């Protein structure tokens, strides 16, 4: 519950590792980027953090618990990213979509876990709250359009926007898009694709 970051963290290894929970989540990102969520092993994370094989269970209960925390972290980062983009771009839905893709590419490991509910505890309260935050950020992007749709049309627009950016991100991460066809810059490619759906007002 408290942050036990003493001066020891600078010198030797902090006591009882000091911040194992964070270290494990960080190691998980690296491991998932290397081998995907299916190849993740709690024992491998423990080795990366330099602790015994059973240490992770204390912080997360089980493997799904760790991935629940990992997904929650992802949804929070996504919500923050979208909020910041909306601020900086003046409410452009195009830029919001590009921000979504940017998040997926830069936080590939998180993104790959976030939408795979069989990997984590989908009824976790913190997770649901983070999901709501991210969802609200997306909705605000649609609601803030100059010619903002209302009612069912708004929901449809939101879902269409979400679908196209989510689909592009997923296809990109899955390696389904040949570099010689879409280039090697995911943001530029995303901008062209999303532009096919919405003309940028900003």
Partner DNA sequence: GCAGGTATCTTGTCGATGGCAAGATATGCT
Partner DNA sequence: AGCATATCTTGCCATCGACAAGATACCTGC
Footprint on this chain of a copy of itself (rule: CB under 8 A): 35-39, 115-119, 122, 155-157, 159-160, 162-171, 174-177, 181-182, 189, 192-194, 196-197
Identity of the residue, 42 or 101, whose beta carbon is nearer to DNA in the bound complex: 42
198 within 8 A of 161, measured Cβ to Cβ: yes
Residue 52 interaction partner, one of DNA, a copy of itself, none, beta carbon < 5-8 Å per kind: DNA
- Residue number with CB closer to a copy of itself (4 or 188): 188
Q: Is 27 in the site for DNA (CB under 7 A)?
A: no
Q: What's the chain look like in SS3?
A: CCCCCCHHHCCCCCHHHCCHHHHHHHHHHHHHHHHCHHHCCHHHHHHHHCCCCCHHHHHHCCHHHHHHHHHHHHHHHHHHHHHHHHHHHCCCHHHHHHHHHHHHHHCHHHHHHHCCHHHCCCCCHHHHHHHHHHHHHHHHHHHCCCCCCCCHHHHHHHHHHHHHHHHHHHHHHCCCCCHHHHCCCHHHHHHHHHHCCCCCCC
Q: Which stretch binds DNA (CB under 7 A): 15-23, 74-82, 117-125, 127-135?
A: 15-23
Tell me whether residue 121 or residue 166 sits nearer to DNA (CB atom): 121
Contact between residue 120 and residue 127 where contact means Cβ atoms under 8 Å apart? yes
Residue from 54, 129, 148, 192 binding DNA (CB under 7 A): 54
Q: Which of 27, 28, 46, 182 binds DNA (CB under 7 A)?
A: 46
**Does residue 197 touch DNA according to CB under 7 A?**
no
User: Which partner from the list a copy of itself, DNA, none does 15 bind, CB cut-off 5 to 8 Å by kind?
Assistant: DNA
Q: Does 17 bind DNA (CB under 7 A)?
A: yes
16 part of the interface to DNA, by CB under 7 A: yes
Kindly state whether residue 121 participates in binding DNA, applying the rule CB under 7 A. no
Under rule CB under 7 A, residue 35 binds DNA: no
- Residue 181 CB contacts under 8 Å (≥ 6 apart), including other chains: none
Pairwise CA distance, residues 167 & 68, whole Å? 23
**Binding partner at 71 among DNA, a copy of itself, none, C-beta below 5 to 8 Å by kind:** none
Task: Give me the residues that bind DNA (CB under 7 A), please.
Answer: 1-2, 4, 15-18, 20-21, 40-44, 46, 51-55, 57-59, 61-64
């Amino acid at each position: 519950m408290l942050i036990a970051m003493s001066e020891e963290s600078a010198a030797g290894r902090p006591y009882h590792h000091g911040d194992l929970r964070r270290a494990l989540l960080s190691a998980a990102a690296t491991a998932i980027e290397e081998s995907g969520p299916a190849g993740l092993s709690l024992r491998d994370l423990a080795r990366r953090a330099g602790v015994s094989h059973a240490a992770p269970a204390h912080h997360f209960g089980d493997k799904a618990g760790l991935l629940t925390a990992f997904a929650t972290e992802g949804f929070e980062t996504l919500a923050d990213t979208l909020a910041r983009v909306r601020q900086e771009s003046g409410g452009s839905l195009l830029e919001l979509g590009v921000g979504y893709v940017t998040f997926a590419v830069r936080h590939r490991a998180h993104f790959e876990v976030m939408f795979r509910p069989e990997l984590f505890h989908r009824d976790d309260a913190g997770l649901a709250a983070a999901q709501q935050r991210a969802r609200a950020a997306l909705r605000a992007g649609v609601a803030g359009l100059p010619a903002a749709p209302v009612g069912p049309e708004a929901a449809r627009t939101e879902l269409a926007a979400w679908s196209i950016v989510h689909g592009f991100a997923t296809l990109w991460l899955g390696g389904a898009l040949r570099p010689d066809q879409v280039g090697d810059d995911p943001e530029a490619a995303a901008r062209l694709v999303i532009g096919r759906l919405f003309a940028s007002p900003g």
